[in-house]
Structure 1
Amino acid sequence: MPSNVRNWLAAIAVLFTASWAHAQATVYTVTPPSAYAGVNNFTAPCGAGTCQNFTLAMAASGSFTTSSPLAGSLVAANIFPLVTAFSFSDGLNTYSSADAAVRVVRFNVSTDAGGAITSVLIAVERWQTGTSPHTAGDRLSVLQFGGGATFAAHNTGCSSVGISLTGMADTCLATPSDASRAEANGPAAAWFAAAAPGPTSIPTLSEWSLIVLAGCMGLTVIRRRRVQDNQPLIAL
């Protein structure tokens, strides 16, 4: 096979591989949102931070995206290295992977043989006072899915700052309760998996692969005709 044709085929293989990898990105969503069953709100007057109350009309919600579907038969596995994005809400606060004030304490997941989530232990935080590096005494909000329940705390104090189980520095490791803190709790969340949507405003990788394939086929036809006519080939 001529070297130029081999090069085109290699390029097609790379594009198809990249397209396949993109299609494997998966979004796991709390479905339906986990409604709170109980709240324990702050005691007025607010003594520290910015006090707000949870209500039973609120719920924990959100999703996370992984670069590939979760493997089957995971047992409390740390999947944070696979997570490309996340966004959660506790009804008062939003915890986004794009927010510099957000920290990930842990991101452990168990799955069944088919890769469906059976349980999680996901804990995220968002600093509400202070600046990085934070210190004991700064205040934050916390959201946790797992342990058979969903738990949220708003405007809680921090008594210890360090490195989280996911390796993230500047994370609060202990959150003692005080009269200015509000809490909410609910049942364990259920998670629904779906393929991540691809880009819509530009051609996808698979479309580019088809374009390259068409060009390669055209090149092959031209080459054969020139060989048959004993005409010199144009160098590529």
Structure 2
Amino acid sequence: MHRRRVLRLAGVTATTLAVAGCSGQDGSTDPADAADEDDTAGQDEDAATDEGTPTAEPTTEDESRETDDPQVTDRLDVISTVGLVAEERISAVELLVALAPGSDPVDLRDLVIQWVDDDGSYDVVAASSDATDTAVDGTFRTTPIKDSDGSAPVLNEPGDRLKLTIALGTDDEVSGADGFGEPLEPEADAVLRIATESGATTTVRLAVPSTLADERAVIL
């Protein structure tokens, strides 16, 4: 706000008022008033500048991945998904998996994968799992990629990497895995829900490229 400091002193003389009036009539400005106005304008400009300057909000580290909830203590991360091609169809799928941040160890023999595509829904378990004695539709093979302490098929270190290979169809394209369903055609989709022993679920969506000609493997 601009405030002109005029008539501040009690007992201002008539002479002073007359001089001030004359100064106002001839267009001149009292130097003291001008200085006061400049100071006030500068303060207002500084305030406006301060109001327009964005302030960085403090960031906090995400702690949502660490929980005592037993439903999320042994979760998997799927790092990559690759489709193996045979006769221009996806005959097998490879998943590279690791522990999710903060997860407890995960035994892949306890996994249940629900595979859903246009042909149906299938339950798939590890070939070495005791669940193969029950009614399942197929099995997957596990291969250690990075396992410093030889714990495979158990993931127990953040740096562990294991590959799951899922066979599609009945042509026995993958040794050590029982196929199910049908190979995926170009532009087909599939959804995988990978459940650990505690019931924590990781969902993976696969999308086949529009053409598989001259390909041996593709990213899904």
Q: Which TM bucket (shorter chain)?
A: under 0.3
TM-score, normalisation: structure 2: 0.24
Using CA pairs under 8 Å that are at least 6 residues apart, name the structure with larger relative contact order, 1 or 2: 1
TM-score, normalisation: structure 1: 0.23
